[in-house]
Amino acid sequence: MHLSLDAVGPATPELVWERYARPARWSEWSPQIRRVDCADEELRVGSTGRVHGPPGVAVDFTVLALDPVSRTWSWQVRVLLVGVRLHLEHGVDDHELGVRTWLRLHGPAPVVVAYAPVARWALHRLVRP
């Protein structure tokens, strides 16, 4: 299943990109993330790590593409308990109200549908100043 989500807010594109590019900042805006283990302070193609969510929930990730000029990146995550893989594409665009960020989520329908409300909430937090 493929699903696209986006959010518009008053933050600057530079701030939103910084929040994406530094895994240590993900828990600031993504309420489901407790912490991120990643050897790279700033994402690069090939970065790997583990995102820790609510107790018992963790996903391993690999960054597949990253373009700081166009402010886009993609990654693959694997939900450890069930072995499900998801592919996520992100972008940050200028917008008349500040910034627009978007997510394209690809994966098994039950997982995509279950994750969509949490992802939408996180995107709206991401675009706040």
Look at residue 49 and tell me if it is in a domain. Answer: yes
pLDDT computed for residue 8 by the predictor: 98
Per-residue pLDDT of the chain (129 residues; tens, 9 = 90+): 999 999 999 999 999 999 999 999 999 999 999 999 999 999 999 999 999 998 878 999 999 999 999 999 999 999 876 779 999 999 999 999 999 999 999 999 999 999 999 999 999 999 999
pLDDT computed for residue 82 by the predictor: 74
Look at residue 85 and tell me if it is in a domain. Answer: no
Residue range of the domain that includes 35: 2-53+63-78+94-126
Please state the domain count of the chain.
Answer: 1
Look at residue 86 and tell me if it is in a domain. Answer: no
pTM of the model: 0.92
**Given CA atoms 54, 57, 60, 64 in this order, what sign does their dihedral have?**
negative
Cα dist from 40 to 2, 6, 78, 108, 119, whole Å: 29, 27, 19, 29, 23
